[in-house]
Chains A and B, each alone.
Chain A
Amino acid sequence: MIDAPLRIAGVEPGRVVVPRDRTELAAAVRDAAAANARFAFVGGGTELALGNAPRALDVAFRTTALDRVVEYAAEDQTITVEAGITFAELDRILGEHQQMLPIDVPDRARSTVGGAIATNAYGALRHRYGTLKDLIVGVELVRPDGVVAHGGGKVVKNVAGFDLPKLAVGSLGTLAGIMTATLRVFPIPEVTRTVRYSGTHPAFVATLEARQLDAQSIVWYAEEDADGDGTYHGTIVTFAGSRVGTDAQIDRLRSIAAELDPGEELHDVGTDELVYYANLETMVRSGGDWRLRSVRLPETIAETPSFERAFATGAIAYVAYPTIGTALVAIDGGEPPHVETMRGDGGASAVVIHAMPERYRATTDAWGPPPPAFAVMRELKARFDPRGLCNPGRFIGGL
């Protein structure tokens, strides 16, 4: 089933187990814990390079066979799925009811829901829909001791008990394995229209906000060019909703563009072009020797001195979400990017390395300095995983 050896942040697990169902997964975790084996949970394997090298891995539990829909309540706009279901399969099932899970992942054919939750995957759609933290309403976890625990539920509003579903988001499988998740899903908008704008007015995005343009997503993009200056080359704005609503929005955007950058025009992005921009996004999320995510205050996203420096060393794609405050870059070959400089430039609150060549792992921290409440995080890890069996060392600060 597994064609290439699995490497998790550079570490090859002693063996790979593919449980056939949740009962089997929970039993396997229980057995591993009894044997003091160190283990990790792996979905589609699209973010295996993220994070620091685990201290040791005896077993990898691959969730790809946990691919069932437990309950799809289309009328309720919720779906409960097993962790190993892929986004492509989910798209197909939800699409039958004109619904969608509005989360961008690196590779829909391979990315799994469990993996997206564990890594808190997001992309341009975050502008309108938020992250999986906003969409997850329930979770079934297998704790590092093999005990199965639930949090949340299947209803969209629920404050009973501590919020285990949100704890699962972004904790990179270091506290527990995700077995199922219940997620809010959304109607596919009647119409989606994307336009490109090459103007360079610094107030463009702020003006969209001020004039209440209700975009689905706003993306800045750049590619390696002859100058290698790494400046943004344009903005892609997607509107979605009713036909009359999106048309009115685009008309308004056109007038804003004309005011700010006389002579610059909006261009409708056609199908071929959409594929091109989708590829750019794919590249920053799955291409390159190095992949970095920089997190900044939205108002400072345009000031990206560190990313410009990154360009000088061979960036192949560069995408930013200006209203969210994150920028992604994929870099090929050349010298390693000056990650420490980026982290120290005062503007970025974090620079996370999603991929790096193996030879740099020993000397490069994928996360950077731990956050202020790190002592509480360490305590949380110790309570969930007192023996440090679960993906040990891969997350920030050695968690």
Chain B
Amino acid sequence: MSAVAIPPPTIPSSPELRARFAAIVGENNTITEGTELRTYECDGLLGFRVRPAVVVLPASTAEVAACMRLGAELGMPIVPRGAGTGLSGGSLPIGGGLVIGLSRMKTILAIDYANRTVRVQPGVINLDITRAIADAGYYYAPDPSSQSVCTIGGNVAENSGGAHCLKYGFTVNHVLGLTMVLPNGEIVTMGSQTGEADALGYDLTALVVGSEGMTGVVTEVLVRILRVPEVTRTLFATFPSTDEAGDAVSRIIGSGIVPAAIEMCDQLAIEAIVKATHVDWPLDVGALLLMDVDGSAAEAQSLAERAEAHLRAAGAIEVRAPRDLAERQLAWKGRKAAFAAMGRISPNYHVQDGVIPRKDIAPVLREIAQLGRENGLRIANVFHAGDGNLHPLVLYDARIAGQEHLAEKVAGEILRICLRYGGSVTGEHGVGHDKACYLGEQFTADDLATMALVRETFDPERRCNPDKMFPTPRLCGDKPGAYVAHATEISGEAGRG
């Protein structure tokens, strides 16, 4: 796969530059060359590589602030980075710029069960919060498929979702307060300080969550934690095609059931997942749904019974429940490994993240399939059906001349289908570098100018993650990137989507 050309650095990496940052974070935590630097040239959007002038790995809010001040003094563009698992290029460096990696700030600072909060540094792995509180019967709800490797700081930047956001909400619904360093190096705290309900004034926290690294660098996060539901019931259902599966989702949601999650896989996705994992899913079906309902024992039982009736009424071939926890975990592991599994059926693929009204799943999937047929490309679908968040995977072979370009075009057309149905170009992966050129199709110039007022409140010089999210003529000459599995996915440590 071809990576885009590296633009010439605006600030050359020099011994003097290195020395100034090393004076703040230490020699060992200042990276300016070699294979170590290459690690930071891209994130989960691997089609693009850009070499920054310097990468720093600060250990404290004070060090982040000092780096930001120095960056401001030197006029350097700044890109914050968590684990680098993002799929939209949010952590793609700027040539000649500064990358602030938060991987050393991985301390869980405080756990407060009485007020149901946990305070963490941004480099804490999403799943590590739940691991720290599971014994007490609590968990942290947002569960991106990469949750075993992605960081809270990255989740905050992207407003990450996950399968169980349908009932429990996204990162923004679970972040109560933040400490952050503004682009000028100033340290500010916002939102709830210790877990109190109403922070006074404008909701800056809600602006920073999902701001894709364009407002500064978050250095502490106060998150809400929840009691683990008393009972979770998982249902697995197969269907002749995505039409019946989509209809089942509409029936369930429309009937007033709020499942904890409903995920759909189409036939191609099932094939890939079965090849890559050890789930015993049937291959001769057109689609499957994997869903959780939860609550008190009686409530979950009642929900499961009602949901099962809807699944059958919609034409399910088979409905079954996992026999035990291990089988349930295996089913979910299969789902979360779906993107990486695509490697079993295609050398390359683009992943998209469009959202549609959930009642329109069946017609939209038909349109996407038609688009694939017209262009001679296979498209697999594995997605969060309950909230209409599609993840079409456009399969192609980069060795065939012109196919990469065609796949990019088809991926873009899928986003346009989503917009035509009144949806969004991104449900959880973020706009970043990848979809900036489509944001202008979702929003008017006035809408984007209004969002820019927010950005410039935090970053009047537009130095923080410039060239992301907002479409610019220069940027939109670029091409959307292809998806390649992250090393941790291939090894089976983490999934995506």
Contact = CB atoms under 8 A, between A and B. Distances in A.
Contacts of A245: 295-296, 298-299, 302
Nearest to A168: B203
Given A373-B189, A396-B201, A161 B447 contact: yes
A241 to B, nearest CB: 5
Contacts of A143: 450
Nearest to A380: B457
B453 interface: yes
Contacts of B430: 159
Contacts, number: 261
B469 A161 contact: yes
A244 interface: yes
Interface stretch (B27-35, B125-133, B204-212, B233-241): B204-212
B6 to A, nearest CB: 28
A349 B193 contact: yes
B203 A162 contact: no
Contact of B204 (A78, A147, A159, A373): A373
A159 B158 contact: yes
A134 B189 contact: no
Interface in B426-465: 426-431, 435, 439, 442-444, 446-451, 453-458
Contacts of A150: 443-444, 447
Given A241-B295, A242-B302, A160 B197 contact: no
A380 B279 CA distance: 51
Contact of A158 (B202, B299, B426): B426
B250 interface: yes
Contact of B302 (A148, A175, A244): A244
A325 B112 CA distance: 15
Contacts of B12: none
Interface string B359-392: 1000000000000000000000000100111000
A361 B230 CA distance: 50
Main secondary structure, interface of A, reads mixed
A275 interface: no
Given A76-B357, A164-B450, A380-B454, A157 B389 contact: yes
Nearest to A352: B200
Contacts of A74: 254
Most central of B173, B193, B303, B358 by chain A CB within 10 Å: B358
Contacts of B230: 212, 214
B201 A130 contact: no
B442 A141 contact: no
B68 interface: no
A395 B196 CA distance: 20
Contacts of A291: none
Contacts of A118: none
B201 A133 contact: no
B170 interface: yes
Contacts of B170: 157, 159
A324 interface: yes
Contacts of A147: 446, 449-450
A186 B230 CA distance: 22
Contacts of B255: 187
Interface in A372-398: 372-377, 379-381, 383-384, 395-397
Given A151-B451, A297-B195, A372-B188, A167 B444 contact: no
Interface stretch (A55-63, A334-342, A363-371): A363-371
Interface-central residue, A158, A213, A214, by most chain B CB under 10 Å? A158
Given A147-B450, A372-B189, A166 B172 contact: yes
B258 interface: yes
Contacts of A75: 250, 253-254, 358-359
Contacts of A38: none
- Contact-residue size bin, chain A (C-beta under 8 Å from the other chain): 35 or more
Interface in A221-280: 241-242, 244-245, 247-249
B111 to A, nearest CB: 13
B159 interface: yes
B256 interface: yes
Given A245-B298, A298-B195, A156 B450 contact: no
B272 interface: no
Contacts of B456: 383
Contact of A170 (B203, B428, B429, B431): B203
Contacts of B256: 98-99, 186-188
A155 interface: yes
A133 B359 contact: no
A209 interface: yes
B201 A241 contact: no
B154 interface: no
Interface string A340-356: 00000000011010000
Interface string A275-303: 00000000000000000010111110000
B422 A376 contact: no
B151 to A, nearest CB: 17
A243 B204 CA distance: 41
Interface string B97-122: 00000000000000000111000000
Contacts of A156: 358, 387-388
B450 A155 contact: no
Contacts of B435: 160
Contacts of B199: 349-350, 371
Contacts of A164: 450-451, 454
Nearest to B451: A162
Contacts of A395: 201
Contacts of B425: 160
Given A75-B359, A147-B446, A298-B114, A160 B254 contact: no
Given A157-B389, A163-B210, 16 more contacts: A75-B358, A133-B173, A147-B446, A153-B423, A155-B356, A155-B388, A156-B358, A162-B211, A163-B159, A164-B450, A171-B202, A206-B114, A244-B301, A350-B199, A373-B190, A399-B201
8 contacts: A120-B198, A150-B443, A175-B202, A241-B302, A350-B199, A379-B457, A380-B453, A380-B454
Interface of A: 73-78, 98-99, 120, 126, 130, 133-134, 141, 143, 147-151, 153-164, 166-167, 169-171, 175, 186-188, 206, 209, 212-214, 241-242, 244-245, 247-249, 293, 295-299, 324-326, 349-350, 352, 367-368, 370-377, 379-381, 383-384, 395-397, 399
